[in-house]
Amino acid sequence: AQTVTQSQPEMSVQEAETVTLSCTYDTSESDYYLFWYKQPPSRQMILVIRQEAYKQQNATENRFSVNFQKAAKSFSLKISDSQLGDAAMYFCALKTSYDKVIFGPGTSLSVIP
Amino acid sequence: KAGVTQTPRYLIKTRGQQVTLSCSPISGHRSVSWYQQTPGQGLQFLFEYFSETQRNKGNFPGRFSGRQFSNSRSEMNVSTLELGDSALYLCASSLGTDSYEQYFGPGTRLTVT
């Protein structure tokens, strides 16, 4: 069975600082995708970043980057220069071919001005 | 390109009634997935449809059903509503079922009294 774990239910960061959200997963598949989704208080879920398992290079999207450690089955999200608009629930997700997406329990991020 | 739309946005029903929720995916997307989101259980997968066929199903009772039409629009139905069915129901669309990222709608907030 595939699982996604986010061990930090809540995190906080000072505005303009850097924060890292943790995610570990488990799958027996060799081909899969990993995602980070953001759900602001307005509730619309937004895709932040995605990583293909076959790619060794870590994905980056502006201030968002990941640290993908395939052997350790770890997929952390780093947010640089945190902004007030980054405050949201962040979900880590795993998808293997032809299977459903598995979401982690989420990490609630607060940004302190 | 228009995003994923869900109707209605808010719904109040009484125990024992049934409800139908609708989801229109992004144009060109053929896969639609449904999730139930509650504070206690997080995001739980309900089912996924691709080209009018149910591809995956979560662990929900038979009271929860869905379907997809030839234009990729999808509906989910919950019969004999229970208080515990109160939740935010999210719909997500993707191009296909093979490891594509999902794009979420705003959700339907269902309250059962």
Question: For the residues A11-25, what does the mean pLDDT come to?
Answer: 98
Predicted confidence at residue B42, as pLDDT, reads 86
Contact B103, B23 (CB under 8 A): no
Question: For the residues A19-24, what does the mean pLDDT come to?
Answer: 98
Q: Return the residue of B nearest to A45 by Cα.
A: B104
Predicted confidence at residue A113, as pLDDT, reads 95
Chain A residues near residue B103 by CB distance under 8 angstroms: 47
Give the separation between CA B14 and CA B93, rounded to whole angstroms: 29
Q: Do A45 and B90 touch (CB under 8 A)?
A: yes
DSSP readout, chain A? --EEE---SEEEEETTS-EEE--EEE-S-SSEEEEEEEE-TT---EEEEEEETT--SPPEETTEEEEEETTTTEEEEEE-S--GGG-EEEEEEEEETTS--EE---EEEEEE-
Chain A residues near residue B58 by CB distance under 8 angstroms: 100
Predicted confidence at residue A44, as pLDDT, reads 87
3-state secondary structure of B86: coil
Who has greater pLDDT, A66 or B95?
Answer: A66
Predicted confidence at residue A2, as pLDDT, reads 86
Residue A100 predicted with pLDDT over 70: yes
Residue A96 predicted with pLDDT over 90: no
> B75: which strand partners?
B22, B67
Chain B residues near residue A43 by CB distance under 8 angstroms: 88, 106-107
Burial class (CB in 10 A: 0-12, 13-18, 19+), A108: middle
Q: Does B106 touch chain A (CB under 8 A)?
A: yes
Predicted confidence at residue B22, as pLDDT, reads 98
Predicted confidence at residue B39, as pLDDT, reads 86
Facing B56 at nearest CB: one of A37, A43, A100: A100
- Maximum separation of any 2 CA atoms in chain A, in Å: 43
Q: What is the mean pLDDT of chain A?
A: 93
Question: For the residues A78-103, what does the mean pLDDT come to?
Answer: 91
Task: Name the residue among A104, A109, A99, A88 with its Cα closest to residue A20.
Answer: A109
Question: For the residues A92-107, what does the mean pLDDT come to?
Answer: 88
Predicted confidence at residue B68, as pLDDT, reads 97
Facing A43 at nearest CB: one of B42, B88, B97: B88
Question: For the residues A32-44, what does the mean pLDDT come to?
Answer: 89
Question: For the residues A8-24, what does the mean pLDDT come to?
Answer: 97
Which parts of chain B have pLDDT scores under 50?
none
